C-alpha cells in the first residue's frame, strides 16, 4: 500500500478504505472561490459493486492499492462474463459483467485491453480509446448538404447511438471514442 494525496487520484485507480478495495469511477478536483479545494471521488466497491461518493481535502492522504496493469486480449463472452487472455503467459481471466460495465458494447474479438489485476482478480478494464464500427442505421444523405452543417443521429453495429456528419451513409465504417461514443472520422480501411 502506498499513501498518495487525494488530488493525484484518477479514474481507474484503486484505493483501499477501511480494508476494502474501491475503483475510482470519477475524480474531480473542486476549487471553490473561498475555502479549501477538495477532491470529489465517486467509487465502486470491488467486492460487491456498491457505489459511494467521498470528498477529501486535496492534500489529504489516501491509501492506493497495488494493482498490476497488463495488456490482455479479449477472447469471448459467455454466461460467466468476459474471457481475456494474457498474450505472454496464455493465462485466461474472466472479467465479471459488473466490472466490465457499459464498456462491454465496444468489445471486439481479439481486441487488446489493459486489465488491472489485484491478487489475481480483475478489477478494472481499460479499452482502446478508439474503435472502428459500422453505421447500421442513419438518415439518408441529402445531396448538396455540406460537411459543416449539423450532425445527424446514427446507430452503430454494436447498438450504440451516436451523431455523425451528414455525408456518412449506412454501411460506412467509422472511428468512435469508447469514452463517449463520439464520432472521430471515417475509417481508413
Write the pLDDT tens digit of every residue in 161-179.
Answer: 999 988 888 999 999 998 8
- In order of 6, 12, 44, the CA distances from 30 in angstroms are 12, 19, 20
What would the pLDDT profile of 21-80 be if each residue is shown by its tens digit?
888 888 899 888 888 899 999 998 887 778 999 999 888 999 888 788 899 999 999 988
What would the pLDDT profile of 106-124 be if each residue is shown by its tens digit?
999 999 999 988 878 888 8
Cβ 155 vs Cβ 181: under 8 Å: no
What is the distance of C-alpha 167 from the center of its chain? 29
Of 23, 38, 64, which residue sits at a domain end? 64
Give the integer Cα–Cα distance in Å for 189 and 182.
19
- Residues 72, 59 share a domain: no
- Quote the number of domains for the chain: 3
Identify the domain containing residue 160 by its residue range: 130-186
The H or E element containing residue 99 is helix 97-100
Cell 485491453 appears where? 113
pTM of the predicted model as reported, rounded to 2 decimal places: 0.68
Q: In terms of Cα–Cα distance, which of 124, 127, 121 is closest to 105?
A: 127
Of 81, 104, 126, which residue sits at a domain end? 126
Amino acid at each position: 500500500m502506498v499513501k498518495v494525496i487525494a488530488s493525484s487520484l484518477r479514474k481507474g485507480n484503486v484505493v483501499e478504505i477501511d480494508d476494502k478495495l474501491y475503483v475510482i469511477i470519477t475524480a474531480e478536483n473542486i476549487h471553490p472561490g473561498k475555502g479549501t479545494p477538495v477532491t470529489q471521488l465517486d467509487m465502486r466497491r470491488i467486492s460487491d459493486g456498491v457505489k459511494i461518493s467521498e470528498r477529501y481535502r486535496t492534500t489529504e492522504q489516501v491509501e492506493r492499492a497495488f494493482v498490476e496493469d497488463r495488456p490482455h486480449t479479449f477472447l469471448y463472452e459467455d454466461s460467466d462474463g468476459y474471457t481475456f487472455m494474457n498474450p505472454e503467459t496464455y493465462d485466461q481471466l474472466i472479467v465479471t459483467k459488473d466490472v466490465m460495465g457499459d464498456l462491454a458494447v465496444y468489445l471486439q474479438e481479439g481486441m487488446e485491453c489493459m486489465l488491472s489485476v489485484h491478487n489475481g482478480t480483475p478489477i478494472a478494464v481499460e479499452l482502446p480509446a478508439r474503435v472502428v464500427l459500422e453505421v447500421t442505421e442513419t438518415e439518408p444523405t441529402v445531396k448538396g448538404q455540406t460537411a459543416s452543417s449539423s450532425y445527424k443521429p446514427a446507430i452503430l453495429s454494436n447498438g450504440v447511438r451516436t451523431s455523425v456528419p451528414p455525408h456518412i451513409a449506412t454501411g460506412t465504417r467509422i472511428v468512435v471514442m469508447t469514452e463517449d461514443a463520439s464520432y472521430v472520422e471515417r475509417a481508413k480501411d
